[in-house]
Chain A
Amino acid sequence: MSGHSTYEPKTAFERWLDVRLPIIRMAHDTAIDFPTPKNLNYWWTFGGILAVCLVIQIVTGLVLAMHYVANAGLAFNSVEHIMRDVNHGWMIRYIHANGASMFFLAVYVHIARGLYYGSYKAPREILWLLGCVIYLLMMATAFMGYVLPWGQMSYYGAVVITNLFSAFDRLIPGVGTAITTWLWGGFAVDNATLNRFFSLHYLLPFMIAGVVGLHIWALHVPGNNNPTGVDVKSKEDTVPFHPYYTVKDAFAILVFLLLFSWFVFFAPEALGHADNQVPANPLVTPIHIVPEWYFLPFYAILRAVPDKLIGVLLMFSAIAMLFLLPWLDTSKVRSMRYRPMARWFFLIFIAATLGLGWCGGKLPDDVVIAVGRDAVSGEPTGFTVVMLSRVLAAYYFAYFLLVLPLLGLFERTLAVPETISTPVLPKGGASMPSGATASPEKKG
C-alpha cells in the first residue's frame, strides 16, 4: 500500500490483534484512510458497483444451487421448480439472471472509463491486465451459467461456443475435434457437459473474487488514476477514501440498484430470450439463435468473416486487443481530456462497438440500407448487416492497431495541468487545509 499506515489500535483487543494478524490495519489502510485523488467523478464509482454485483451474484447463486439439479433430464424442471415453488425463488433467480446483465453493464462502463482516461498506462499495466483477466473469467462464468437452465438457447449456446474450438481442425486435423469431445465428455453437448459446466460455474466466481483481490492490491500501489490523468503530487491532491468516496460510491450503488431493481421487478425477461422457455432439444435448432446482449459485439465479429477459423481467431483477438492495449497506446498523455483527436476516435470506437452489438442481434443478410429490390423475390437488397459488421470490426481493430499507436506520435495535445488541483484552483489548492476538497465558495 502506498504511504505508511496511519492506523492506531484503540482498544486492548485491537492492539493484541494487530501484532498477531493486522487485519483491521489492512482494512483501515485500504478503505478508510487510503489517500484518493480528490477529483474522481462518477465514472469512478463503477469499481464499487462491480464489487456489489459480484457479491449479489455469489449470494444469489449460492442459494440457487441449493435448489437446482445439474442433470440433463431434470435441470429445466428444477429451474421451473425454483420459479414456481421455492419460497421467493422467482425473485432470487431473476436477481441472479439480471444480475449477470447488470454486472456486464457495469464492467463495460468501467472498461470504457479506463480507456478514456488512460488508466491502463504506466504504472498501472498490471492493474489493467488483472482487470482483463477478470473480464475473461466473467465471460466464461456467464456463458456456463446461461447453459444451466437447459433451454433451447442454453443448449445451442453451449453447442456453438464449444464448437468454436473445432475450428482448430484446420490447423492440425483432429485437434479441434479432440478438444470439443474433451469439453463435452461425449460426442455432443449432453449431461456430462451440463454437469461440468455447473461445477465450473460454481468455481469461477470465487476465482474472480481472488483476482479482484489482486486487482485492488495492484490499484493500491500506484493509487487511483483520475480524470486529469496527472499523478498525485502532494497530500493536497487527495482526500481520505472514507468518508468522501465511501459516500459517493454508496450513492452511485443505490442509483445503480434502482436500475437493477427495475429490471428484476418490472422487466425480468427483457434481456432474456423466449426460446429458452423451451426445453433443450438436440434435434431442432431454433430459427434465430443469438447470445446474450453482452456477447453480441464479439458474435458480430465472428459472423463478419466467411471463413470459420479466421472468424474464430478474430473474435478471440478482439479481446486480446485489450490485453495489448498498454503497449499499443504510445501517447504520454493519460487522459483524453487533453487529447482532442483521440477523444473523437474514442467516441467513434464506442459507437462502433455498440454498432457491432446491434449487428450481432440481427440476421447477417438483413438489409441495413436498401439500394434496390431483388428481381425475383422483390426483397430489398443493398448494404447488409454482415457488410456493416465488417466495416465496424475493421474500425474496432484499427482503433487498437493503427489509431492509438500512431496518434500518440502525431497528435498535438492540450496543455496538461501541473497538478490535479491546478484546473480548479488558481493556486493549485496549496493553501487548502489538508483533507478537504475545494471549499464551497471557490467551487461556485
Chain B
Amino acid sequence: MAETAHETHGEDPHRRDFIHIAAMATGAVGVAATAWPFIDQMNPSGDTLALASIEQDISKVTPGQQLVVLWRGKPVFVRHRTPAEIAAAVKDDHADMRDPATDASRTKPGKQEWLILIGVCTHLGCVPSFGTGDYGGWFCPCHGSVYDTAGRIRKGPAPKNLELPDYEFTGPTKVKIG
C-alpha cells in the first residue's frame, strides 16, 4: 500500500495540490463560519427588533403643532400641517429638487394635514428643528441642510428627503408607527 501511495504521489502531483486546495477551502469556510456569529452579534438584538411598532394618540395635536415621539430610538415628527404649509408644499411639487417627490406621495390619501417623518437628517443623523430654515420647514443645525414643509431636501449637504416611517391610521385620531 505504501508503495502504491508513493507511486501515485510521484505520478500525479495534481492530486497533492487538490488536497492542499481542498484543505485550505475547508479551513476558510470553517473560519468564516466561526467568525460570522462574532460579527453578527453586533446587529440589532431580538429585543431591539421586537420594539418595532408603537401606537400614538394624536388627538391633542392642533394645526401648526408637531409631536415628537421616540420610535426605535429615533425621533418621529408627527406634524399637523396648516393649510398654508400644505399649499406651499404643493406649489413646489415640480420645483427643481435633489430628491424629487410630490407632496401627495409623502402623506396618506385624505390625511394631507398629517405629515409623519423620521426626524433624522439624511446627511449625518442630527435632529432638524422646525421653523428656522428657508422654505418654512426644518433646518438641521449640524451641517445646515434645509427641508421644506413636506420634509423634502431643498438646500445643504443632505442627499435625501426626510424618511417616511411605515405607519397607518388605526382610528380618526390614532396612528400606528412601524
By a beta-carbon cutoff of 8 Å, the part of chain A in contact with chain B is: 156, 159-160, 162-164, 166, 170, 181-190, 192, 196, 282-289, 303, 305-309, 311, 364-365
Contacts and interface: CB of A to CB of B under 8 A. Distances in A.
Interface string B53-90: 00000000000000010101111000000000000000
Contact of B159 (A162, A182, A184, A308): A308
A160 B125 contact: yes
A113 B72 CA distance: 48
B126 A289 contact: yes
Nearest to A287: B141
Contact of B74 (A164, A166, A282, A309): A282
A305 B43 CA distance: 31
A307 B128 CA distance: 18
B75 A163 contact: no
Contact of B157 (A164, A186, A306): A306
Contacts, number: 91
A181 B43 contact: yes
Contacts of B48: 185-187, 190, 192
Interface of B: 39, 42-45, 48, 68, 70, 72-75, 119-120, 123-129, 140-144, 156-159
B73 A308 contact: no
29 contacts: A156-B142, A160-B142, A162-B125, A164-B124, A182-B39, A182-B43, A185-B44, A185-B45, A186-B48, A187-B44, A187-B74, A188-B72, A188-B74, A189-B73, A190-B48, A192-B48, A283-B75, A283-B127, A286-B141, A288-B141, A289-B126, A289-B142, A306-B156, A306-B157, A308-B123, A308-B124, A308-B158, A308-B159, A364-B143
A421 to B, nearest CB: 55
B141 A289 contact: yes
A397 B132 CA distance: 35
A365 B43 contact: no
Contacts of A287: 141
A144 B42 CA distance: 16
B91 to A, nearest CB: 21
Contacts of B126: 156, 159-160, 285, 289
A187 B73 contact: yes
Given A282-B73, A306-B157, A163 B43 contact: no
Contacts of A284: 127
A170 B70 contact: no
B84 to A, nearest CB: 21
A414 B124 CA distance: 49
Contacts of B156: 306
A183 B158 CA distance: 21
